A and B are shown apart, each in its own frame.
With several copies, the nearest count.
Chain A
Amino acid sequence: MDRPLRLIPTDPLDRLARTIEALLVVSSTPLPVEDLAAAADDAPERVEEALRLVADRFAEERSGIVLEHVAGGWAFRAGREEAEACARLFERPAQRNLSQAALETLAIVAYLGPCSRPDIARIRGVAADSAVANLLDRGLIAEAGRDSVAGGAIRYRTTPLFERVFGLESLSELPRLDDVGADAAEIRDRLHTVAERRSA
């Protein structure tokens, strides 16, 4: 490395923290620790340590810029207190007016992982074409290859933008939906009873 000699004393960790700040401000997507480490040419453990410094510097109520862990990586965003000012200047095309159909479709894609329009239609009981097109437009879902079994239908997955918009560190942060389990068992039991009766 041929950095010029500088007279400013630099704690190496502080130096790494500055590099991380720079990487985060130029990146368009949240950066995982490994990516930060590769770009900073340093060890992931040291990056984690430096991230704590950055997090301390860019904390809610301390700075207008806040460091957050979201969508599997680290990213800057505006502090919550500045939402009002941001709302005056910026549009939020991704989350404005999401219809019930779009939200259900999003939920299916998020929970089931890559799935095709026929998969979604089967669960919702209605065609999902316009909801899918709408979510693609907003960048909340993206193509994820083709289903090689079911006639090559295109499959969709949620995007990092989806996780970002909904403030999720990862998809595993989606709540488990166990509470409907009881209902499900009940429905199943009743159906079984009727089924047995009818086949008898």
Chain B
Amino acid sequence: MIVRELELDLDAFEGPFDLLLALVLKEELGLRDVDLAAIVAAFLERLADREELDLEACGEFLVLIAALLELKARALFPEEEAELAELDPEEAAEELARRLVEYRRAKEAAVWLRERLASEGDRYFRLGPSPLAPKFEIPLAPRDPAELANVLRLLAKEPPDVSLSHMALRFPPVSQFLDRFRALLRRRSRFDFETEVAELTRLEQASAFLAMLELRRAGELAIDQAAPFAPIRVSRLAKENPVRDERTDAWTVRSA
């Protein structure tokens, strides 16, 4: 099974997985609109159709979906970028899963509300006051003027300091790694992805990963993994006639 050719039928997108990846990388498709769980479901369905477990496909899929999740996480809470970057990967994964589940629930609940609205649509009731209801002068109980001072104090309360640390946190441009990997593959025919990015920050690793996917999509390199979770080996692909997408160098992944 070739993961890239996995056919998807989502609300926001219909087509093969690799086209979705390309559109996301080019920012032509907002990840916010993409139901990643549905992609997982589609993959699992395909997997279930096969008699043997396709370990290679599983590994590739996991890596791809993880990258998308990370990107989506950044889109879902950009203001917490710094905070999230400081979490260790396990915490970040937990936090991300929690957010995705919450959003998923909200969407499910919205569907339920819409159905409910349709089924309860024939219940009419009065929205305003009763036309002939007696008018009563409602005496107001005495109030303490300190209440007024207190609500104004709350209104004047300094909001908590907004962390500005994320201003320094730019998503490194993918193009930087496109160049770097191309240069690397001119010198060596293959390299180990993990070793190559080991010294980088998580954000840089994410960019590097996207660059690697993009180069493979363009047919400039091949990715090989002996087994799921085994090191990802990147090797040069001899290309007779390399046609480079002109936009490639210009891409940067949006920094929130």
Would A and B touch once assembled, by the CB under 8 A criterion?
A: yes
Tell me the A residues contacting B by CB distance below 8 Å.
Answer: 22, 25-30, 68, 70, 72, 75-78, 80, 82-83, 86-87, 90-96, 98, 100, 103-104, 106-108, 110-111, 122-126, 138, 140, 146, 148-152, 161, 164-168, 173-177, 179-181, 183-184, 186-188, 190-200
The residues of B that contact A164 with a CB separation of less than 8 Å are 125
> In the bound complex, what is the Cα–Cα distance between A27 and B255 (angstroms)?
54
Contact A107 B110 (CB under 8 A): yes
Among the listed A77, A95, A195, A196, which residue makes an inter-chain contact with B133, where contact means beta carbons less than 8 Å apart? A77
B160 to chain A, nearest CB (A): 5
A179-B108, A191-B156 as given contacts; A174 in contact with B149, CB under 8 Å: yes
Contact A191 B140 (CB under 8 A): no
**Residues of chain B in range 128-148 having any CB-CB distance to chain A below 8 Å:** 128-134, 136, 138-148
Among the listed A78, A190, A192, which residue makes an inter-chain contact with B125, where contact means beta carbons less than 8 Å apart? A78
Number of chain B residues close to chain A: CB under 8 A: 80
* Additional 14 contacts, C-beta under 8 A, given A27-B130, A152-B154, A175-B145: A28-B129, A75-B132, A83-B121, A98-B143, A103-B147, A103-B148, A104-B106, A165-B143, A168-B145, A174-B109, A177-B152, A184-B104, A191-B69, A193-B62
Interface centre among A29, A110, A148, A173 (most CB of B within 10 A): A110
The residues of B that contact A193 with a CB separation of less than 8 Å are 62
> In the bound complex, what is the Cα–Cα distance between A45 and B97 (angstroms)?
48
Please name the 6 residue pairs, one residue from A and one from B, whose CB atoms are nearest each other, closest first.
A151-B159, A28-B128, A107-B109, A83-B122, A77-B132, A191-B93
The residues of B that contact A183 with a CB separation of less than 8 Å are 37, 41, 101, 104
Chain B, interface SS category:
helix
Contact A70 B106 (CB under 8 A): no
Tell me the B residues contacting A by CB distance below 8 Å.
Answer: 32, 37, 40-41, 62-63, 65-66, 69, 75-77, 80, 88-90, 92-94, 96-97, 99-110, 112-114, 116-117, 119-134, 136, 138-149, 151-160, 162, 205, 229
A107-B110, A107-B113, A197-B229 as given contacts; A28 in contact with B126, CB under 8 Å: yes
Contact A165 B142 (CB under 8 A): yes
> In the bound complex, what is the Cα–Cα distance between A180 and B107 (angstroms)?
10
Contact B114 A148 (CB under 8 A): no
Contact B66 A166 (CB under 8 A): no
B10 to chain A, nearest CB (A): 15
Contact A167 B142 (CB under 8 A): yes
The residues of B that contact A86 with a CB separation of less than 8 Å are 124, 133-134
Contact B126 A26 (CB under 8 A): yes
Among the listed A90, A108, A140, which residue makes an inter-chain contact with B124, where contact means beta carbons less than 8 Å apart? A90
Among the listed B130, B138, B153, which residue makes an inter-chain contact with A177, where contact means beta carbons less than 8 Å apart? B153
A26-B133, A123-B102, A166-B145 as given contacts; A95 in contact with B121, CB under 8 Å: yes
> What is the chain B residue whose CB lies nearest that of A138?
B140
The residues of B that contact A103 with a CB separation of less than 8 Å are 110, 113-114, 147-148, 151
> What is the chain A residue whose CB lies nearest that of B111?
A103
> What is the chain B residue whose CB lies nearest that of A193?
B62
A153 to chain B, nearest CB (A): 8
The residues of B that contact A107 with a CB separation of less than 8 Å are 105-107, 109-110, 112-113, 147-149, 151-152, 155
